[in-house]
Chains A and B, each alone.
Chain A
């Protein structure tokens, strides 16, 4: 059974950088079937996909993809030895206030998100 858990600050100030960590258990991050997506949801609004990362066996490297409108501010990375995926979002603004989720994405299936963390609410305010 795959489980994911988000951690990070609950409050950040405008212009600061947000760093969120997703800790995974049940499957190694070196397994392409254990890709990780980050998805956020502002209060009362729809889900917004941010980024994902997974191992590409053929290229012997990590595949990373980003939300088009946030690409310049986002970085996703992983530490396989710690079973962690880290997302950073620079220059935070009040509109970035949201619940941030990490979720498993199976790169050898349909990239569906079949396991989710509980989410962490991040508020941007001075």
Chain B
């Protein structure tokens, strides 16, 4: 199975900050990397698919990049509603696997 490792596991930041979360795959996954945001008690929400494509309706302050094994999710200017847990997911090969999550907290 492909292992997905996110860093950091948790992060404290302030409104307006630029934040980057990284995700590393244990082998090349081309651009089959998706990012999700999850708030407490809610289902995950797709933010980015195919490493860099913004899902419809997602604010443009979210962006994704990378290919192969190394990927990043960037939030250009944190808003209060962005404090949540973020997960990466590889969909290059089954079984599909998720990262362990990055909890983004208010500083």
Q: A101-B43, A119-B43 in contact; A111/B32 too (CB < 8 A)?
A: yes
| CB <8 Å contact, B96 and A52 | yes
| CB <8 Å contact, B49 and A112 | yes
Digitize A8-19: 1 where CB-to-B-CB distance is under 8 Å, 0 elsewhere.
Answer: 000000000000
Measured between beta carbons, the chain B residues less than 8 angstroms from A49 are 89, 95-98
Q: Which of A37, A48, A52, A116 has the most CB of B within 10 A?
A: A116
Which residue numbers of A lie inside 8 Å of B, CB to CB?
A: 37, 46-49, 52, 65-68, 101, 103, 105, 109-114, 116-119
Which residue numbers of B lie inside 8 Å of A, CB to CB?
A: 1, 31-32, 34, 36, 38, 43-46, 49-50, 55, 87, 89, 91, 94-101
| CB <8 Å contact, A37 and B43 | no
Instruction: Across the A-B interface, give the 9 residue pairs with the lowest CB-CB distance, nearest first.
Output: A65-B94, A111-B91, A112-B49, A116-B43, A49-B96, A112-B34, A47-B98, A110-B50, A114-B46
B85: nearest residue on chain A (CB-CB)?
A: A46
Measured between beta carbons, the chain B residues less than 8 angstroms from A47 are 36, 38, 44, 87, 89, 98, 101
| CB <8 Å contact, B101 and A110 | no
Measured between beta carbons, the chain B residues less than 8 angstroms from A117 are 43
| 30 chain-A/chain-B pairs, Cβ below 8 angstroms | A46-B98, A46-B100, A46-B101, A47-B38, A47-B44, A47-B98, A47-B101, A48-B98, A49-B96, A49-B98, A52-B94, A52-B96, A65-B94, A65-B95, A65-B96, A66-B95, A101-B43, A103-B43, A109-B50, A110-B34, A111-B91, A112-B34, A112-B89, A112-B91, A113-B46, A113-B89, A114-B46, A114-B55, A116-B44, A116-B45
